[in-house]
């Protein structure tokens, strides 16, 4: 998010050159009821829907991760309980090696499952959210440098923030 902020804000506007252009004067003085409200509202609605969908997916991923942790923990407790029951006071090196190999296998299975099912499927921000964020921050930055562009906003006040 910090990188997006710096990419959107850190550009040279050349305000004096642009304000002297005929097309700029024509656009700001004669907008004939052309507003960006509908476009902005559509972007915001799409971004909010995508965020809601991403949140649902990420919550399901979180619950899946916890479920797998419970299964691994339960299996480990059962294994150690059986181990203590069968080998009460006998501590052979083979049994200890087997115990550690079994533990390493569970950790490896968990890592494999976690990355294939959770990390790869996790979505920080959807394309719609990203487009909305970039548009709103870019428009906010441009409007701050060119206040006369506020004429293109009728019923909305566009500010730079994520959904």
On whether residue 35 sits in a domain, the answer given is: yes
Contacts of 58 (CB under 8 A, 6+ apart): 122, 123
**Mean pLDDT of all residues in the chain?**
77
On whether residue 163 sits in a domain, the answer given is: no
On whether residue 157 sits in a domain, the answer given is: no
On whether residue 114 sits in a domain, the answer given is: yes
pLDDT band per the 50, 70, 90 thresholds, residue 52: very high
On whether residue 136 sits in a domain, the answer given is: yes
Alpha-carbon distance of 133 to 147, in angstroms, equals 20
On whether residue 158 sits in a domain, the answer given is: no
pTM of the entire predicted model: 0.52
Alpha-carbon distance of 43 to 52, in angstroms, equals 14
User: How many structural domains compose the chain?
Assistant: 1
The domain in which residue 108 lies consists of: 2-152
Alpha-carbon distance of 135 to 8, in angstroms, equals 9
On whether residue 13 sits in a domain, the answer given is: yes
| Choice among 59-68, 106-115, 148-157 with the minimum mean pLDDT | 148-157
On whether residue 159 sits in a domain, the answer given is: no
Higher pLDDT, 17 or 117: 117
Average pLDDT over residues 108-128: 83
């Amino acid at each position: 998010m910090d990188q997006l902020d710096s990419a959107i804000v850190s550009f040279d506007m050349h305000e004096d050159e642009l304000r002297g252009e005929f097309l700029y004067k024509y656009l700001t003085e004669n907008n004939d009821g052309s507003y960006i409200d509908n476009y902005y509202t559509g972007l915001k609605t799409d971004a909010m829907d995508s965020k809601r969908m991403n949140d649902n997916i990420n919550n399901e991923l979180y619950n899946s991760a916890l479920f797998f942790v419970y299964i691994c923990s339960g299996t480990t407790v059962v294994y150690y309980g059986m181990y203590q029951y069968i080998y009460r006071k006998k501590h052979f090196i083979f049994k200890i090696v087997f115990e550690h190999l079994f533990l390493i296998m569970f950790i490896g299975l968990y890592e494999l499952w976690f990355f294939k099912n959770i990390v790869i499927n996790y979505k920080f921000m959807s394309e719609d959210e990203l487009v909305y964020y970039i548009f709103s921050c870019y428009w906010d930055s441009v409007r701050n440098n060119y206040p006369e562009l506020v004429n293109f906003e009728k019923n909305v006040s566009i500010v730079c923030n994520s959904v």
